[in-house]
A and B are shown apart, each in its own frame.
Chain A
Amino acid sequence: MTDPRYTPLRERHEALGASFTDFGGWAMPVRYSSDLAEHHAVRTTAGLFDISHMAEFFVEGEDAGEYLDYALAGRLSTMAVGKAKYSLVLDENGGIVDDVIVYRLGDERFLVIANAGNREPVAAALADRLEKRAVGVVDATDDFSLIAVQGPRARAVLEATDRLEDFDHPLDELKYYAAVAASFDGHPVLIARTGYTGEDGYELLVPNAHAGALWDALLAAGEPIGLVPAGLAARDTLRLEAGMPLYGHELSLDIVPAQAGLGRAVASDKDDFVGRAGLSALVATDSPVLVGLVSEGRRAGRAGYAVMDADGPVGEITSGALSPTLGHPIAMAFVAPALSAPGTELFIDVRGTRIPATVTALPFYRRTK
């Protein structure tokens, strides 16, 4: 078994007292102080995340847009420069290889950010699907670090960070799901207004050599504003509350987008794309669909626990936790479509105890600010 990899920010995490966990072959901070404190900080002020384990691919060339239309599920060729878009990489059957965010950096230049655990299959898919196009794909994962600032005060943190400057367009005009080039200490940094927490926030892409200094600068500028370092434990409860899927839980090769409520991510009117044949071959199906479940009390159903109705098992939880912000158990689960209407009363088998749960539309939490 190979040793896990560390990001360039390892020593900083250790100095901050982080506990580490293995994620996709990387040793990442799971918490610094307390999962709950870090979660609450992101909802009230801001949290600072090292997400450098994620994979980055630059896609460049005359046919880059058309290539991505073929290789991915969505329509990327019509994206405006400076915009970001959530998309999926599908296999021939329409199963989900990964969920990604695509950024258009130029007319002929895109950036695809994929999950750490799916770097290899995404790299292989992108390479296989090039065919004879005048497009180059570069796996830049090992050269870049990614730092996220998430929370209602995220913009204030960036504005307070002096050495973050030379924005191509003003930060206060940067819309959600858009990106802007800037510099940190004179080095290029890409700042995207994207995130995985359900709060406002930014993800900053920087070459490894400058990651440490950027982390330090953000933390120093942000501390008076309430910025705290936050780990993967908080990240998981935050994204769950926001109804966001996690690959390996809600998404996998065995799931087609419509099952996970992601039918809108597939531009099925495109001429051709990988997965098209597989998706059209599916007959009207009673495949399980993803729903939200809420319960009373404090005992949460967790991934793998059975969902039941009066007659027996009807599904399975993919992710679940006691929601720190809402104060009650929440879960995402796949259930038969007939049971997926909000208000449907079901049960969760929590280690032998049947806990009532009600189907609800996602997300569980939506920010107001």
Chain B
Amino acid sequence: MTDLNSLKYTAEHEWIAIDGDVATVGITDYAADKLGDVVFVELPAVDSGVSAGQVVGEIESTKSVGELYAPLTGDVVAVNEAVVDDPSLVNSDPFGEGWLVKLRVDGSAPAELIDREAYLALTGGEE
């Protein structure tokens, strides 16, 4: 079970798990709940370079489309094919099986990443 307190977050409702120079990125349960049933996920190509703040994909639900932003600058080393095949994983396990992309980054955490406490404050404390 992922320790949610060890993750970093963004104001765009993404979580980031940093392990050495690889950052795993997904969207939070808050975002998944707001979207509703996710039916289609578009992810960036493996080996593409992304910049922090760039739109790199889409998460589409029955009712709306959310953009996936790169929270860090780096290269895409993996995308979650399981989610492409079964987008409902984003709803059922947003912090685990519903991960979206893995980036190779230079290891520094930009100021725009916030910790769990700050993220919960942003979302009104909804756990």
User: Which A residues are closer than 8 A to B by beta carbons?
Assistant: 19, 30-31, 34-36, 233, 236-237, 298-300, 302, 321-322, 324, 351
Contact = CB atoms under 8 A, between A and B. Distances in A.
A322 B88 CA distance: 14
B63 A322 contact: no
Contacts of A236: 63
B58 A351 contact: yes
Contacts, number: 35
B124 to A, nearest CB: 14
Interface in B18-39: 33, 36-37, 39
A34 B40 contact: no
B98 to A, nearest CB: 15
Given A299-B60, A351-B65, A34 B36 contact: yes
Contacts of B91: 34
Secondary structure call for the A interface: mixed
A298 B60 CA distance: 10
B37 A35 contact: yes
A299 B60 CA distance: 8
B62 A36 contact: yes
Name the 9 nearest CB pairs between A and B, nearest first.
Answer: A35-B62, A298-B40, A36-B37, A322-B39, A35-B37, A35-B36, A34-B37, A233-B63, A299-B40
A351 B33 CA distance: 23
Nearest to A231: B36
Contact of B62 (A19, A299, A324, A351): A324
Interface residues of B, number: 12
A349 to B, nearest CB: 14
5 contacts: A34-B91, A35-B61, A36-B39, A233-B36, A322-B39
Nearest to A321: B62
Contacts of B33: 19
Contacts of B63: 30, 35, 233, 236
B87 to A, nearest CB: 8
A302 B61 CA distance: 12
